[in-house]
Amino acid sequence: MRQSLEILQANSLELSQLLQQAALTNPTLEISTNEEALPVENEADAEHDTETIPELDDHARDEFITSKSSTPGPTQETVDYLYNSIVAPLSLQQHLTQQINHEDIDEKMRNACHEIISNLDDRGFLEQPITDISFTSLHTLDTLEKALIKIQHLDPPGVGAHDLKESLLIQLQKINSLGSIAYQIVENHLADLAQKKFPHIAKQLKTSVEKIAAAAEKITTLTPDPGADFDPTSNPYIIPDIKFNKDSEGQWKAILTNEHIPEVTISHVYKDLLASATETKTRAYLKEQIKDGKQIITAISQRQHTLLRIAEEIITHQKEFLEHGKSALKPLTMNELAEVIQVHPATISRAVAGKYAFTPHGVIELRIFFTSGYQSQDGSQVSNTSIKDVIQNIIQEEPTTKPLSDTAIEKILASKGLKVARRTIAKYRDQLGILPSHLRKKF
């Protein structure tokens, strides 16, 4: 049951990994994918292979039973081809090391730079004081400080800083803004900048609010996280499990993509071996492995069936969204859907966890389709997601010099027939990552 739940909850990539792991512990499982294909063969070879495949398959079975070896795996040529095709993303440390290795510096300084690089965190910051590093280093404090300066001149801009403030100052220096208003703001008024106290900063720096606003705009173009582009988890690759498409008659259909989900079968080799085995222990072992393998195959089938049923019901309840977008999303709970397809609500929750769907409005997480909502004055149901979408549109259209307060937004929603409390508006605004009105003001 635990294995079935894991299979149900796994997304496409996770499921592929689970199945590969299962095949390592259960030799009766055969995992078939198209990812091991080698360069295309000519027609004569293909014709010959078509004629000899049954013969080779029978030979493999006989060879296995007589030699008691495992099922023949991919050839060394296939393995080499696959490994040579893998291109791993470059880490921040590798990126910096490559640059240092091309610098015209002596070996001592190069090694000191490598030591500094190894102490950077994923953001590219050196949080540990360089004096602490020198206590256990073979290099002197002076050498390490010079090495750090070398690192701070590398790409990405701002790398090697001790904190955000120093990183921003390094970035400004790189674009020839040393001593500028932007530089002075970062150096002495970063907290005020975060609260958008432009008049106060202008008074302190004896300049106009307009110049402070322009400098603030310049600072927003800098990166607070120099190592972000090298973080493998910062931009995960999404494989949708569902596609929503219209058929030739204009009806919405849900299709399972089955992308990255390999075909799983029970090996004929082990079936033959079970048929010919005479030892009790051997027969018991093979029966147990084949039984476990069939349970995995059943769990995959149930996963796909459950996902498809959920997707079909989403079409029934959320057709307006598919036609018009997020603003047309209707309230729908997992409990309601669970009653329709006669499963436990927890099954729905596990089935949609981490899963995505192709829609006419982009790749959408399945959980987005499940939301409570409000009843408008005309009696129609409006989802929380739709309310958030309306709030976001209201704020996008507000005057930048006089942003709308949450109370003002509450009144606008009421005029649209949507009664939403001010505290709820504040909560939704926070969830959307939108600042309060006094921090959205532009000068």
pLDDT on residue 63: 44
331 preceded by a cis bond (ω within 30 of 0): no
Using CA atoms, how far residue 282 sits from 30, 63, 68, 277, in Å, is 20, 18, 12, 7
Q: Which helix (H) or strand (E) holds 98?
A: helix 92-101
Q: Which domain holds residue 392?
A: 373-440
CA–CA separation, 115 vs 148, rounded Å? Answer: 10
Q: Residue holding tokens 């069936």?
A: 305
Last residue of a domain, one of 321, 336, 369: 369
Q: Are residues 357 and 377 both part of a single domain? A: no
pLDDT of residue 188: 94
103 and 225 housed in the same domain: yes
Q: Does residue 17 fall inside a structural domain?
A: no
Structural domain contains residue 31: no
Q: Of 168, 198, 230, which residue constitutes the final position of a domain?
A: 230
Query: Which of 410, 374, 365, 373 has the alpha carbon at shortest distance from 391?
Result: 410
Q: In a 10 Å sphere around its CB, with 0-12 CB exposed, 13-18 middle and 19+ buried, how is residue 154 labelled?
A: buried
Q: Do 107 and 218 lie in a common domain?
A: yes
Say which amino acid occupies 14: E
Give the 3-state secondary structure of residue 347: helix
* Number of domains making up the chain: 3
Regarding whether 108 and 153 lie in a shared domain, the answer is yes
Cα 437 to chain centroid distance, Å, stands at 31
CATH code: domain of residue 434 = 1.10.10.60
Contact predicate 242/358, CB 8 Å:
yes
pLDDT of residue 167: 94
Q: Are residues 307 and 381 in the same domain?
A: no
- Secondary structure of residue 71 in the 3-state scheme: coil
The two three-digit tokens of residue 358, written as one number? 């192709």
174 and 263 in a single domain? The answer is no
354 and 384 inside one domain: no
Position 370 scores a pLDDT of 85
Question: Is residue 279 assigned to a domain?
Answer: yes
Same domain, residue pair 208 and 310: no
In a domain, 81, yes or no: no
Q: Are residues 412 and 330 in the same domain?
A: no
Q: Are residues 271 and 191 in the same domain?
A: no
Tokens, residue 180: 């500028």
Whether 14 is covered by a domain: the verdict is no
Q: Phi-psi category of 179—alpha, beta or left, where left has phi over 0 and alpha has psi -120 to 50?
A: left
- Is 381 found in the same domain as 255? no
In-domain check, residue 144: yes
Domain C-terminal end among 230, 265, 284: 230
What's residue 33's pLDDT? 59
Q: pLDDT means per 10 residues in the chain (443 residues)?
A: 84 83 84 50 42 43 41 51 52 90 91 92 89 89 94 93 94 93 94 88 92 91 87 65 90 86 85 84 87 91 93 91 82 87 89 89 87 61 75 88 89 84 88 85 77
Does residue 29 sit within a domain? no
Q: How far apart are alpha carbons 203 and 67 in whole angstroms?
A: 87
Query: Is the domain of 286 the same as that of 333?
Result: yes
- Domain for residue 354, yes or no? yes
Question: Which pLDDT does position 157 carry in this prediction?
Answer: 93
